[in-house]
Chain A
Amino acid sequence: MSARDRILSRLQHDVIASDNEIDLSVHLDKQFDTQEKLERFTEKLESVHGEIIRCSENDWTQTLARVVDAEQIENLTLGLGALPDQAADAVSCAVRRYDADIEDWKGQLFSDVQAGFTTCRGGIAETGSLLLWPSIDEPRLLSLVPPIHIALLFAKDIANTFTEVLCTQNWQDGMPTNALMISGPSKSADIAQVLAYGVHGPKRLIVLLAE
């Protein structure tokens, strides 16, 4: 018998205890209206050092350009696709596309890139979180390695709770390689419980919240 079969045989039992009802209402009852969603999202994300810049769906590219100038970002890395294209056109700094395998430019990504731009799949009001599904166009490390992560989130994509998202959006029918929930910049309190930002991931998370 293999280790697998031996372990599984020890987990067999004759009577399967009946399952308690799974009552998700404690999460699903949390319903916010549009205004509350925005307020709650903002409050929660800002409480963990996330920076939110509100803009409109029509002028987010100009807002991005302003942020890039104001923060003196000299180079910005973006993925591919319509929105990243618009972003690339709008900014005045040097632009690089994440269009090669990581093996081909790991050193550069790790040491030269100052900021990364990504879109978001959605957000969560309850916890002030971003939902990202990295893809061929917007790879996983784009939101992790650059010291500044600029994320574009459309206000209409903000859901109430994570439970609601997982119960209604059918993620289980086709999970991506990697799905992420991001709530703030990278941080640690491992040294004497003092918060420090930018431990391994970005030191700053700037969210362009487009309404």
Chain B
Amino acid sequence: MNTAVNFTDAAKTALKNPTLRFNFRQAMDSLRERRAAQFPDQDELERARDLAGAIRRRSLNHLAEKLVQLESQCQKNGIQVHWAETPAQANEIILEVCQRHDAKHVIKGKSMVSEECHLNDYLAKHDIEALESDLGEYIVQIDGETPSHIIMPAIHKNKKEIAELFAEKIPGVEYTEDVDTLTAIARKVLRSKFETAAVGISGVNFAVAETGTLCLVENEGNGRMTTTVPPVHIAITGIEKVVPSLSDVAPLYSVLTRSATGQHATTYFNMISSPRREGERDGPQEVHLVLLDNGRSKIYQDERMQDTLKCIRCGACMNHCPVYTRIGGHAYGTVYPGPIGQILNPQQYGIDQQGEMLSACSLNGACGEACPVRIPIPSLISELRHEATRNDQAGTVYGQGALRKLHEAVVWGSWKWIHRTPWAYKAMGLAATRLRRLVPSAAMGPWTKTRVKPALAEKTLHELMKERES
């Protein structure tokens, strides 16, 4: 599915692109400011995070039971429920529904889980055109790209780039940088597609077990269009998105919108509980829910890692990440970029496939502090780094030990020995201070490539302290 990419090379390329860096820097700065403005009261923020975290934890504690309840409630409401262990299975299920309705083109609302499945490509191979209707998704789709941010898919592009893209790709469109005009153009193209699509495909933000309700959060109205106009609606979501009761969604929604885009509320919160009922004038005749596992149940089985599944996909961790801000989303080469991607992708696809990005973290902790459901992202990254280098085969994550390097193991082995052996420790200290001028820059590895060699002290700390005491 996802192929291994060379993260380091991609990151280097991104760093050399000033436009890209400017676009991300500007966007991330403003998203962070907007979030901060929504939480003027630190105490309230912490209580809201406690609450949201507790709700997600409780959902996970009873995940199997709640999924079964969700299934039976949905079925009672007339929603057809499908289970998929892999993206391939999810794609087959969706294709089967589309073909049964003779769909030639389908319209899509934003769904990161469908990105996980590479659903658009799959449908295209079966002669079904899947058109993205979220403005950001539409922009990246017509440029043959993937989203660079989970909330703002086209954040890496500036106005000029989008203006050029529209003029080039949409017939009859002239170059304009006027955002209202560009938006109106997309609206016009997509409106006709909404009207004629046989199937609408959307994601889900929260699935309520108690009532069998699918909740969608959005600003544009494309989500409502997708789930209301076509005769068939297929919702696809990860199995972790279930929450026990209806009253759980309000606190989660509240921290989601404020953390994601700094909005006190999004334009639409759309709660769908059934297909069109007897006598109703609109809405799809059929609603399907596809529940995708794709590695989530494996993450679930490891208690240390389970918190990964609390995520409500707000994107705040990437907005606050100094690495993401500099390299952008595409460098990760994965569906989920940034800190959430760093903990999710290696677990889903194996450290051997997508573990390289684990090194792109300074453990500064900003993501963990921003996360509205209190996922300890930095600790999970540390934990995964351990998994990545262990050689005892006692871990749980796919591809464990894949990033172990002999020289690193030797260095850390010696480090450990030196720190446990007093005479060696002393000798090491003396050597480092007395021979400090002899340490070659190259010995400091990549550190000195862009920095001057740090000056080592003349005397060890022990010596200095002794002098002070006497």
User: Could you name 30 residue pairs across A and B whose Cβ atoms are closer than 8 Å?
Assistant: A3-B85, A3-B293, A8-B67, A10-B297, A11-B64, A17-B57, A17-B61, A24-B251, A102-B229, A110-B191, A110-B195, A128-B264, A129-B265, A144-B221, A163-B250, A175-B212, A175-B246, A177-B272, A177-B276, A179-B271, A180-B269, A189-B152, A190-B134, A190-B153, A191-B135, A193-B30, A196-B180, A198-B183, A199-B183, A200-B220
A19 with B247, Cβ < 8 A, contacts A188-B219, A196-B179 known: no
Within 8 A of A (CB), among B195-234: 195, 210-213, 219-222, 224-225, 228-229
B80 at the interface (CB under 8 A from A): no
- Quick check: A200 and B283 within 8 Å, CB to CB? no
CB-nearest residue of chain A relative to B212?
A175
Provide the bound-state CA to CA distance between A175 and B48, in Å: 26
B416 at the interface (CB under 8 A from A): no
Provide the bound-state CA to CA distance between A196 and B63, in Å: 39
B47 at the interface (CB under 8 A from A): yes
- Which single member of A21, A48, A106 contacts B267 (CB below 8 Å)? A48
0/1 interface trace, chain A 136-177, chain B, CB 8 Å (1 if under) = 100111001000000000000000011101110001100111
- Quick check: B64 and A12 within 8 Å, CB to CB? yes
Interface of A with B (CB < 8 Å)? 2-4, 6-8, 10-13, 16-17, 19-27, 44, 47-48, 98-102, 106-107, 110, 126-129, 135-136, 139-141, 144, 161-163, 165-167, 171-172, 175-194, 196, 198-202
- Quick check: B281 and A100 within 8 Å, CB to CB? yes
B261 at the interface (CB under 8 A from A): yes
B154 at the interface (CB under 8 A from A): yes
CB-nearest residue of chain B relative to A136?
B279
A7 with B265, Cβ < 8 A, contacts A26-B44, A190-B135, A192-B158 known: no
B14 at the interface (CB under 8 A from A): no
CB-nearest residue of chain A relative to B271?
A179
Provide the bound-state CA to CA distance between A48 and B54, in Å: 30
Distance in angstroms from B232 CB to nearest chain A CB is: 13
- Which single member of A167, A183, A196 contacts B247 (CB below 8 Å)? A167
Most buried by A among B27, B195, B213, B247: B247
Interface SS majority for chain B:
helix
- Which single member of A10, A127, A177, A200 contacts B222 (CB below 8 Å)? A200
Q: Which residues of B contact A11 (CB under 8 A)?
A: 63-64, 67, 239, 297, 300
- Quick check: A191 and B264 within 8 Å, CB to CB? no
B270 at the interface (CB under 8 A from A): yes
B432 at the interface (CB under 8 A from A): no
- Which single member of B26, B268, B297 contacts A7 (CB below 8 Å)? B297
Provide the bound-state CA to CA distance between A192 and B31, in Å: 12
Distance in angstroms from A110 CB to nearest chain B CB is: 5
Provide the bound-state CA to CA distance between A202 and B187, in Å: 11
Provide the bound-state CA to CA distance between A132 and B166, in Å: 36
